[in-house]
Chain A
């Protein structure tokens, strides 16, 4: 047992320190560390992802746990923590080596925040997670959970503290180096490292923004797991500790991942983006270029266009200075985090971190009676002694002290030792005594007032405990001043039975057990039908009072007093409590006003009762059915009579009788056993009767022959019963006289044989209204193989089917997915056509038809002379017989110069590029401007019914005629590509420059007004028109000169 006052002064100093540092600007290092590790360590990223999914699933699976009310006050988890104070050699209590009191007060603040009891807390309130300093260290030795480590040998630590970012060039101590220097097993303890500085800042410079701490979420490797924070921030009211613990339990900043005032986080899926919590609106980090504004924002939240919510602005996970809540969504995540392996291990039952390695005695449930007592009087205390440690606790004393405040300093500051209780038993680990009690006298010297009555386990300090300062518990007691205390003793009444309206006499003494005289006072008398006096209420009747004219000295009593009372004449006869009330008018200021009453019992009768002598009798306990009979008045009455027992059943009974004289005095009651025989002979015929269930009213009676040994074999009709379980009841009267007991038996009425039509019924999806019912042949083992009516709509459908194979009951509905393919009469799908087009001219494509090939390999030769020379693009797509197209494929090509026309240039060959079948008929057609007509072989045409049409000696005036081939096999017809007849000549300049010289032209032919002309570069001579030249169009390559001599002309007709 230790002195409990030692930390008071420190608390006061701490409060002063807090006010000094109130303009501090702490921020958190979580975001930078977390994001950096996400990018650099895929294992960490994956672990965070997996944990997120586990959390999501946990919340889904445990809504009853995570949605507890905020007032539940039920701790679900207690997390053991160890505080590594990484000081730099300073004494305990110095700035970087906080005192134990400071550390304990910070932990107490943390717990108040997390159980919702911190003043002003709103939101989710009780998170149901508690934090407790370890009691057993990793070596199973005692610990107070505070590990003080001189870390001045760590590189860079004394000057710079710890680096939150290894790349910041600060040259402080790396995080992992510090943690490796002092770490307790992370699976058993949650590690807190209290450091001098983070990134060269200790949080003491007013107005300076600094990193106050950081913590890793579950999922980080165990060597990094834990919380780092500045020693200067480890104090009550400073939110760094509850904030960082939030990170340790999987909370993000409310603004995550925003990094600036104009950077709104996505909130499309609130459980997946932002802070992963759905009851916090997306908000920006209220920062400009990393400088935080700690004010709580009001007005419109630009991320939602709604007003800012207190759920984000007053949140412990924000940077604001108005923090007072966690939300329910955050509570969900924190409780779910406790299911993750690195947190679950902390709270598992076999973790010994919170189990003291020695005995650990405490006092639980301290009570006392009375709570108010005068000096010198006795009070009884009740309590249990607990052993929360891992070793047995030997017998010991529990001491009792009185203190005017809640700090016990035995023998000092007015604190008074009262007494002790010897706990004469050995307490096993983690056990407690039964409720113990002890009468204790409050010293007469104690001044009136309110006191703490201390219960001190191991009050003589004979038990070796790890923790000595948790032996205490208290109860509040009020010590009164000197006072009288009146009670009634020796209370009697005579007679105890009286008629209404008659007089009775009460006898009593008034006793003063107080410490001073009790002046004259009244003793009041009341009648009550029960033992609770409520004067004037509930039928309680005030009768009279007695004036005690004398002064009753302390601890004395009056002589026996008496008072005649009149019972009210209109009172209902019965038994009553007659109450005696000392100081009935309340004129005496007593120590205890609750002990003034005493009672006596009185029986009150109806005064109208006759003076007739009589007797009354009754059977058994049936007094209510007593029979009264008058008798002649006589001093000596002799009764001899026969009394009917018809109302009684045969068997054992009690006869009760008493007598009354003319003075209404009753004799005692005389009782006798007697046995009533059943002398009624059985009547009737032998029979039995039966019924079903509880329907005895409808029982069936059947006569049988009288027999001493009946063997019944009968078929009973159950037509009136429903299918299912029933009870058959039967009894027998085989001798016609006595019934047997009822014999009952369960039986199951089987359903009637089905009479319906065997059938099955099916429907698709949820369209029960469209169900189809088909009749079956009755069978007890149906194998169905059928094609069912199809349903509409290509795609996934559900077939639902049920059966009634015997015409009786339906089976359950069986459901199966099936996929409906498009309806087509094309079994062997083949490529049907190709369309291709040049450049952007997709609206005028060329068509090529195919048939019969699922896997087509083909070559198309197309006429590209319609295109200008240069780069072009050809695009094509294919269609199958079912009408489905391929993707578009494209390719580029160069439409090169045309250098080799076919001679004679007015002969042409067109090749059909539409294929239907080899047996299809071919018919070439021409369109001269008035529509296509069939061609016939003749002077200018050959092959009009083949794949190749030859045009012979066509006049150039046919320029522009269109040709196509129609293929028809009797079932279908297709058209080939449409070809346009063109004529062109190429200047070769092989002889000279003369336009008019045929030798300079391909095919040795001069162009006319229906012939296109191409002049390419690289020829020996460029053309010169000497007289008159004519052509339909002229196309010249770059660098080509076409000269028209003076007086000459070149007519270009198009």
Chain B
């Protein structure tokens, strides 16, 4: 498999082996073809798609999805992403993942519920514009520090399908719910914020049975009865709901009383999500330091606090300047700022 180079204007995809061997490829497809299990693929800023499903165990790093944070690199956008058998043990971060159309999910695992169970995949620091659909039995999935836009598909379900025994934390989820078609889902859903999506009238409820929901903040209600045999504990709700949970007033009262800067009310009387708002917990809020681990409820508590800018965990270039031409002596000046991440 060659990794040919075509021309200067083509974006460059780095494939890095665990031993440091590096290949630079001109397209996501050629980088994917070059990569083998265990490799890292570093995507540049830009809008890309992958012709085939991911069937290798790869770690994919984008340049981030936040326009403010990724100004130097541009954000990385994938049209959609499908992961199938063989992709076990992989991860993706720092990418905006779109959906092909409103009826489909953006991230799709497998296509057959009868497939061999899939295990161990991580999605973090991503903007999921659609939803994540598990169409094959999948477990040990980590979904953290992501931002979910409103998911039209699957009745507005951000995470749905045959997912079980997985960890979903510190996400911002807009107007959608979680769902598992596995009657024994055993999900841990913690430190997320579920937003009401006004115009669509979706409700933020959760549907994964046999699961634990804790330290979440529901702008409306964690509709407990949809999630059979689950433990709703230590959440904060806009509706009275669930034992051991805080009812923090009506939905807009909840936001005003909970967050530092919840933003203005929209015309329908709700707070919409905006990346420029501050969703840290007010010192006066009952959510402050009241998580089950002593940290805050919501996205800034727990093991994986929300990271401003949502940049991925690899070194992040946040400034670059290359002089437009060399000087009289043929010297080129390159100026940059780069920061390590965790």
Residues in A lying within 8 Å of B, measured CB to CB? 42, 45-46, 49-54, 56-57, 60, 268-269, 272-273, 793, 795-798, 817-819, 829-831, 834, 836, 839-840, 842, 854-865, 867, 871-881, 883-896, 898-902
> 1/0 contact trace for B139-167 toward A, CB 8 Å?
01110000000001111110000000111
Which 10 interchain pairs have the tightest Cβ spacing?
A53-B155, A865-B330, A894-B325, A840-B5, A891-B322, A900-B328, A873-B8, A886-B315, A842-B24, A887-B63
Q: In the bound complex, how far is the Cα of B326 from the Cα of A867, in angstroms?
A: 10
Using Cβ atoms and an 8 Å threshold, which residues of chain B touch A49? 102, 152-156
> 1/0 contact trace for B304-341 toward A, CB 8 Å?
10000000011111011011111111111111111110
Which of A855, A861, A895 has a CB less than 8 Å from the CB of B325? A895
Using Cβ atoms and an 8 Å threshold, which residues of chain A touch B328? 896, 898-900
Query: Could you tell me the distance in whole angstroms from the C-beta of A215 to the nearest C-beta in chain B?
Result: 22
Q: In the bound complex, how far is the Cα of B157 from the Cα of A56, in angstroms?
A: 12
Which of A50, A836, A862 has a CB less than 8 Å from the CB of B156? A50
- Listed A/B pairs (11) with beta-carbon separation below 8 Å: A49-B155, A273-B103, A797-B140, A819-B142, A829-B340, A842-B5, A842-B24, A858-B335, A875-B12, A878-B317, A895-B332
Which of B41-49, B248-256, B263-271 participates in binding chain A? B41-49
Instruction: Decide if A888 touches B332 in the complex (CB within 8 Å).
Output: no
Using Cβ atoms and an 8 Å threshold, which residues of chain A touch B156? 46, 49-50, 53
Further 5 A-B residue pairs, CB within 8 A, beyond A876-B320, A895-B326: A842-B5, A872-B8, A889-B336, A896-B326, A899-B328
> 1/0 contact trace for B50-79 toward A, CB 8 Å?
000000000001110000000011001000
Query: Could you tell me the distance in whole angstroms from the C-beta of A251 to the nearest C-beta in chain B?
Result: 18
Using Cβ atoms and an 8 Å threshold, which residues of chain B touch A902? 329
Q: In the bound complex, how far is the Cα of B24 from the Cα of A859, in angstroms?
A: 23
Query: Could you tell me the distance in whole angstroms from the C-beta of B324 to the nearest C-beta in chain A?
Result: 6
Using Cβ atoms and an 8 Å threshold, which residues of chain B touch A798? 165
Q: In the bound complex, how far is the Cα of B226 from the Cα of A889, in angstroms?
A: 47
Instruction: Decide if A885 touches B314 in the complex (CB within 8 Å).
Output: yes
Query: Could you tell me the distance in whole angstroms from the C-beta of A500 to the nearest C-beta in chain B?
Result: 73
Query: Could you tell me the distance in whole angstroms from the C-beta of B142 to the nearest C-beta in chain A?
Result: 5
Q: In the bound complex, how far is the Cα of B112 from the Cα of A648, in angstroms?
A: 79
Query: Could you tell me the distance in whole angstroms from the C-beta of B143 to the nearest C-beta in chain A?
Result: 10
Using Cβ atoms and an 8 Å threshold, which residues of chain A touch B61? 884-885, 887
Query: Could you tell me the distance in whole angstroms from the C-beta of B176 to the nearest C-beta in chain A?
Result: 10
Using Cβ atoms and an 8 Å threshold, which residues of chain B touch A884? 40, 61, 313-315
Residues in B lying within 8 Å of A, measured CB to CB? 5, 8-9, 11-14, 16, 20, 22, 24, 40, 42-45, 61-63, 72-73, 76, 89, 102-103, 111, 120, 122, 135, 140-142, 152-157, 165-167, 179, 181, 188, 199-202, 207, 226, 303-304, 313-317, 319-320, 322-340, 342
Q: In the bound complex, how far is the Cα of B111 from the Cα of A494, in angstroms?
A: 90
Instruction: Decide if A57 touches B8 in the complex (CB within 8 Å).
Output: no
Using Cβ atoms and an 8 Å threshold, which residues of chain A touch B332? 861-864, 874, 893, 895
Q: In the bound complex, how far is the Cα of B12 from the Cα of A902, in angstroms?
A: 36
Q: In the bound complex, how far is the Cα of B44 from the Cα of A887, in angstroms?
A: 5
Q: In the bound complex, how far is the Cα of B16 from the Cα of A861, in angstroms?
A: 26
- Given A273-B103, A830-B340, A864-B330, A883–B20 Cβ distance below 8 Å? yes
Q: In the bound complex, how far is the Cα of B323 from the Cα of A359, in angstroms?
A: 95
Instruction: Decide if A889 touches B44 in the complex (CB within 8 Å).
Output: yes
Instruction: Decide if A887 touches B322 in the complex (CB within 8 Å).
Output: no
Instruction: Decide if A885 touches B40 in the complex (CB within 8 Å).
Output: yes
Instruction: Decide if B43 touches A887 in the complex (CB within 8 Å).
Output: yes
Query: Could you tell me the distance in whole angstroms from the C-beta of A313 to the nearest C-beta in chain B?
Result: 26
Instruction: Decide if A894 touches B14 in the complex (CB within 8 Å).
Output: no
Using Cβ atoms and an 8 Å threshold, which residues of chain B touch A829? 340, 342
Nearest-CB residue, chain B, relative to A872: B8
Using Cβ atoms and an 8 Å threshold, which residues of chain B touch A856? 336-339
Query: Could you tell me the distance in whole angstroms from the C-beta of A1032 to the nearest C-beta in chain B?
Result: 16
Using Cβ atoms and an 8 Å threshold, which residues of chain B touch A879? 315
Q: In the bound complex, how far is the Cα of B319 from the Cα of A324, in angstroms?
A: 68
Instruction: Decide if A893 touches B323 in the complex (CB within 8 Å).
Output: yes
Q: In the bound complex, how far is the Cα of B154 from the Cα of A872, in angstroms?
A: 48
Instruction: Decide if B140 touches A795 in the complex (CB within 8 Å).
Output: yes
Using Cβ atoms and an 8 Å threshold, which residues of chain B touch A269? 111, 135
Instruction: Decide if A898 touches B153 in the complex (CB within 8 Å).
Output: no
Instruction: Decide if B152 touches A876 in the complex (CB within 8 Å).
Output: no
Which of B103, B154, B181, B188 has a CB less than 8 Å from the CB of A817? B188
Residue of A60, A268, A272, A867 contacting most chain B CB atoms (<10 Å): A272
Instruction: Decide if A50 touches B202 in the complex (CB within 8 Å).
Output: yes
Instruction: Decide if A880 touches B330 in the complex (CB within 8 Å).
Output: no
Q: In the bound complex, how far is the Cα of B331 from the Cα of A895, in angstroms?
A: 9
Query: Could you tell me the distance in whole angstroms from the C-beta of A852 to the nearest C-beta in chain B?
Result: 11
Which of B13, B14, B324, B339 has a CB less than 8 Å from the CB of A854? B339
Nearest-CB residue, chain B, relative to A871: B8
Q: In the bound complex, how far is the Cα of B324 from the Cα of A891, in angstroms?
A: 9
Using Cβ atoms and an 8 Å threshold, which residues of chain B touch A894? 324-326
Which of B9, B199, B315 has a CB less than 8 Å from the CB of A885? B315
Instruction: Decide if A891 touches B320 in the complex (CB within 8 Å).
Output: yes
Nearest-CB residue, chain B, relative to A901: B329
Q: In the bound complex, how far is the Cα of B167 from the Cα of A797, in angstroms?
A: 10
Query: Could you tell me the distance in whole angstroms from the C-beta of A89 to the nearest C-beta in chain B?
Result: 44
Residue of B44, B165, B325 contacting most chain A CB atoms (<10 Å): B325
Which of B120, B313, B325, B329 has a CB less than 8 Å from the CB of A795? B120
Using Cβ atoms and an 8 Å threshold, which residues of chain B touch A818? 303
Instruction: Decide if B89 touches A888 in the complex (CB within 8 Å).
Output: no
